[in-house]
Structure 1
Amino acid sequence: MKFYSEVALEKAMTIQEVILRAYAGKISWIEASEILGYSPRHVRRLKDRYKRDGFHALFDGRRGKASPRRVPIELVEEVQRLYQEEYFDFNVKHFHEKLTEEHGMEVSYTWTKCLLQKSGLVAKDKTRKKHRKRRARRPLSGMLLHIDGSEHQWFQDGKYYDLIVILDDATSEIYYARLEESESTRTVMTGLRHVVETKGIFCQLYTDRASHFFLTPKAGEPVDKQTLTQVGRAMRDLGVLLIPAYSPQARGRSERSFRTWQGRLPQELRIRNITTLKEANEFLDSQYIGEFNSRFTVGAKGEGTAFLPVFRNDLDRVFSIQSERTVNRDNTVRFKNLHLQIEKQDWRASLEGSKVIVYEHQDESISIGLGAHEVGRFSKNGEPVKKPKAKAAAVGKKVNSPTYHNQQTGHIMC
């Protein structure tokens, strides 16, 4: 004896009622097809089946039969086992990629998601999110870069670290990613210098309103664009326009990227037994960033690039932390409990009373500059060191003189 669901039974009774009305001449068969929402041809099939086999012929004949396309139960159990034992903290998309790429299973993403949800291994998303309009991407790479930090438990030790990422608005390509103890002026400067040295000078930089990017006089109010932070000063020196975001939604492109990072990187580190920042950063540089870009980078709408070649040889100064000091009578500079002794210069007998800039470089060395002159270089402990040899004067090929100059960014193409 067959058992039918209440919905199936109600549907069959409705079809029977319409067919009986048509048989009685109360409605035409064309009207019957319109009432049922079926084609006239299908209604004729139902009529013939009902006349031949009765009421039970109106039920779906496929009910209770296994689909010829059904996935074998052994494969279902293997997918469930893999998720529970090896990939328990992976999101569905990431897990499906592992199934197809590393285990050779030819199953669809939708099937995988439905299986995990029905098995209670992943939860269904029941939240309805607020409708927002997507901001159009910039047409060329190098026009707008995003930089942001994400605090998360990247390892399995319960500790929080910051992942600093720089990505391109036009393509979502990751130019820099590094795990640090914390996001700071120094760690941000390191990332920005890497991009400038490897890609060139970009036009604009989109950031949050963290204190190393902007000074906010009062919480909730606009930033003070006149008072520059160290990062703000470095970007000004390079002609890059710094743009503050006033909500997480405004940084949607970087926020979405971080959700992807948080849903994938901890799991990749776990299955490789990577537990230290050094090992993690080596993995990012040697493998993960390339794989991430190959999977998520999109093509720019325009041809070419807005990156400009670097023609200056003072990036070591640009990406340093700078402080102004006054030279004492004994030609020393007081800086962070250090007495930095300036040696006699060939072009001037004494620098007493001069306003100088103390540069804290990324290698932790310290130098003192007066205009274009470097008048002293020291270790982080204040011990004098020899001046490094001058670097090449330019990076990249020479370009023609600009036909016009953008006052906001100093770039030709922006």
Structure 2
Amino acid sequence: MKIIMSTQEARRVTIMHECLKGIRTNKQAAQLLKITERQVQRLKAKARHDGISAVLHGNRGIPPAHALTKEQRKEIADIYAEELKNYNYSHARDVLEEDKAIIVSRSTVSRILRNQGIKSPKSRRPRKNHPSRDARSREGSMAQMDASSYDWLSNGSYLQLHGSIDDATGKVLALHFEQEETTHGYNELVYQMNSRKRLPQEFYVDCRTTFRNNNKPLESLSIDEELSGKTNFMTQFQRSMHELGIVLIYAHSPEAKGRIERLWETLQDRLPKDLARKGITTVEAANAYLPTYISYFNRKFAVKAKDPELDYAPSIPLRELKIILAHQEKRKLDRGLSFSYLGKRYSLPQMTGKEKEPLSQRDIITVATSEYIGIQVLTKGRILEPVELRERAKAIIEDVPDKIKLNEDHWVSKPKNNSPWHKTNSLFFTR
């Protein structure tokens, strides 16, 4: 009978054969096979009784008890062909466990599908070498933030997915869909992180104008102006992060913030298929599903930080955070303690209860607006609700006739204009 053996099994048979013939001692055979001398003696006795092939493992040729049956392998192949087409092997394995309660390894899924002639749609490209840096040792020390444009809903809408990921652990801290990449989208991420007490100490971002005024950078301010908190050249997001005490670090290449770039690569492959499988077709439904998806994603891909201690910034009260993240502009009060904003006039209340507001003309106020607070005014440590003023009706001037009718039979002629300018004509000016 022909026996097919691996290299290690053939080596084991050869050493035991030499030991039986006396070429090697029991001690030498034990050292080569990394077993005890007593075990060598047992194998020699078994070989004398059943032949030299008896030194091989006893379960050789017997299917393992936990091996998949032919029907189970066919079921996995059928599910992939009918429901999970174009899923990569890892994603297919996760869906089988989550939706079908079929728990198998990625290598098992790969082996079954390859035997069926099904290759993974995600080709593996060779890695490019880039200068690397060590990840932060503590969770919450720094988070990378970016947005990715993709056909997330598989309907040609090409939404912008704003996201933030922890640098130390790879945990997704927040995700939010918007039609365009905007400051509002990034503010929504800050709201999510603050509500979950996951506000980082630093944000690692790119050099988009949302994060930095590239025409008049902050560096053009003097040291005294920076220390005084002057924010003339800051964008709205820069200003809000400055007030929150969060440092913005700027990356000058995609490779510099590689963790979030790899996150987009993973999400672009997985998230659209998961949204389609859940029947999600609108932006509102997608945003409602994202918290559940974040929990699943972090269980699957997050790693432990080197230092177990958390380094998140303290959370901010929601009312205060709404004011900080609102769009803020400066205005000056006029004599009537009113101001103009976006083509409308507003006035400020002079009394709050029985207390008089310390307002005067030419005061510089800050007007804060957002969908959460409407329009509010910040001045002298107070938050006031402005009142919109109604526009005054403009007087309508009608053309005056040459003659004014006093009654049915009496007309009064219009007085003549004796001004010398009234008597001139174009010929006069030409001369």
Instruction: Please report the TM-score for the alignment, with normalisation by the length of structure 1.
Output: 0.68
CA distance in 1, matches of 2:261, 2:146: 9
- Report the Cα offset of residue 351 of structure 1: 3.1
CA distance in 2, matches of 1:190, 1:383: 32
CA distance in 2, matches of 1:342, 1:263: 53
**Are 1:365 and 2:365 matched, yes or no?**
no
- Report the Cα offset of residue 106 of structure 1: 5.1
Residue in structure 2 matched with residue 307 of structure 1 by the alignment: 312
Residue in structure 1 matched with residue 257 of structure 2 by the alignment: 251
- Report the Cα offset of residue 80 of structure 1: 2.9
After superposition, the C-alpha distances for 1:250-298 in whole angstroms (9 at most, x for unaligned) are 111111122222222211111111111222222222x222111111222
CA distance in 1, matches of 2:122, 2:286: 31
Matches within 5 A, 1:167-182: 167-182=165-180
Residue in structure 2 matched with residue 191 of structure 1 by the alignment: 189
Matched to 2:372, the amino acid is D
Match 1:296 to one of 296, 301, 305: 301
- Report the Cα offset of residue 121 of structure 1: 4.5
Q: In 2 relative to 1, CA 44–200 (structure 1 residues): closer, same or farther, beyond 3 Å?
A: closer
CA distance in 2, matches of 1:309, 1:101: 35
Higher mean C-alpha displacement, 198-207 vs 247-256 = 198-207
Asked if structure 2 preserves the Cα contact closer than 8 Å seen for 1:117 and 1:123, the reply is: no
Matches within 5 A, 1:15-414: 42=14, 73-105=70-102, 107-116=104-113, 119-123=117-121, 125=123, 127-199=125-197, 201-217=199-215, 227-285=233-291, 287-310=292-315, 314-345=320-351, 346-347=355-356, 351-363=360-372, 365-377=374-386, 382=388
- Report the Cα offset of residue 245 of structure 1: 1.1
- Report the Cα offset of residue 115 of structure 1: 4.5
Matched to 2:133, the amino acid is R
Percentage of matched positions with identical amino acids: 25
Matched to 2:377, the amino acid is I
Residue in structure 2 matched with residue 20 of structure 1 by the alignment: none
Q: In 2 relative to 1, CA 284–349 (structure 1 residues): closer, same or farther, beyond 3 Å?
A: closer
CA distance in 1, matches of 2:321, 2:12: 78
**Please, which runs of 5 or more residues in structure 2 have no aligned partner?**
1-9, 18-60, 222-232, 391-431
Q: In 2 relative to 1, CA 195–126 (structure 1 residues): closer, same or farther, beyond 3 Å?
A: closer
Root mean square deviation, CA, Å = 3.6
Partner SS for 1:155:
coil
Asked if structure 2 preserves the Cα contact closer than 8 Å seen for 1:213 and 1:232, the reply is: yes
CA distance in 1, matches of 2:282, 2:251: 32
Q: In 2 relative to 1, CA 225–275 (structure 1 residues): closer, same or farther, beyond 3 Å?
A: farther
Q: In 2 relative to 1, CA 39–67 (structure 1 residues): closer, same or farther, beyond 3 Å?
A: closer
Q: In 2 relative to 1, CA 215–260 (structure 1 residues): closer, same or farther, beyond 3 Å?
A: same
CA distance in 2, matches of 1:301, 1:43: 46
Q: In 2 relative to 1, CA 362–188 (structure 1 residues): closer, same or farther, beyond 3 Å?
A: farther
- Report the Cα offset of residue 339 of structure 1: 1.4
- Report the Cα offset of residue 235 of structure 1: 1.1
Asked if structure 2 preserves the Cα contact closer than 8 Å seen for 1:165 and 1:174, the reply is: yes
Instruction: Please report the TM-score for the alignment, with normalisation by the length of structure 2.
Output: 0.66
After superposition, the C-alpha distances for 1:27-63 in whole angstroms (9 at most, x for unaligned) are xxxxxxxxxxx85965999xxxxxxxxxxxxxxxxxx
The count of corresponding residues between Structure 1 and Structure 2 is 327
- Report the Cα offset of residue 73 of structure 1: 5.0
Q: In 2 relative to 1, CA 327–130 (structure 1 residues): closer, same or farther, beyond 3 Å?
A: same
